[in-house]
Structure 1
């Protein structure tokens, strides 16, 4: 009698892989928007917008603002998808060291956000301060997004110990 071969066990299920891919796409779109904003605003002088462009006309400054808004939305979606990916991964895997690993990564992101905030405050150049502020905000957002997965992993570990 023919036997079917069992499906190989996958360390990452499709849902986790899909969410991770969507997370990468969202962060990629946010990074692309950042590059486009820098390229668009490279030719803008600080006083030329108010002197040469009538108020009712669309210009590169308005284009850069729209691109920046889209990029910020993509970054926010990426952070939410990152948190969802971690929660799905924690639900799928019951590794005993997972809570410690998540805690270490979250703590590293928090410390990185604090250090980036300190570095941003020490900058004299506005562009450099903005770059450090973006890094600080990204690390703090990712750390906050990883908290639900960290709590779920800790609760699962505690429940397994009590059994």
Structure 2
């Protein structure tokens, strides 16, 4: 496999545990890492600092994918339809700027594809899509206990009540794009 086909995408769709669990199921996704982006304070933020809402960071996932198997545009479609991109600074009960819907683009092509996909999908939502579109400046990997969270904690309450329904929606909408 040529390294030319390996690309990176960075999305924030509320709690990173949810977004991570969704993209770990998608064919062509090689790796998903939970972390933080978009903040304006120096150094590497901690989960506690990000949760305070004072650092300006969003909870995000960084996705390494094979663009010969799944395109960036398809990833953006999955992202926009497996969380609520119409709520500002919140996803369900999670409220604050750290839970904002955001696409951090890595290059101009990703920026244009993300804009185009948002425009195309906006007609399917009752409210305007408020997903932020920003250039990725820095990605900070989250603490180890946040990685593979759903896989490691599937029976925990948050996982059962919040993440499992998102995965059911993913299976319903994108069965043909999922790993077997």
Shorter chain as normaliser: what TM range?
under 0.3
Higher relative contact order (CA 8 A, sep 6+): 2
Please state which structure has a larger fraction of its residues in strand. 2
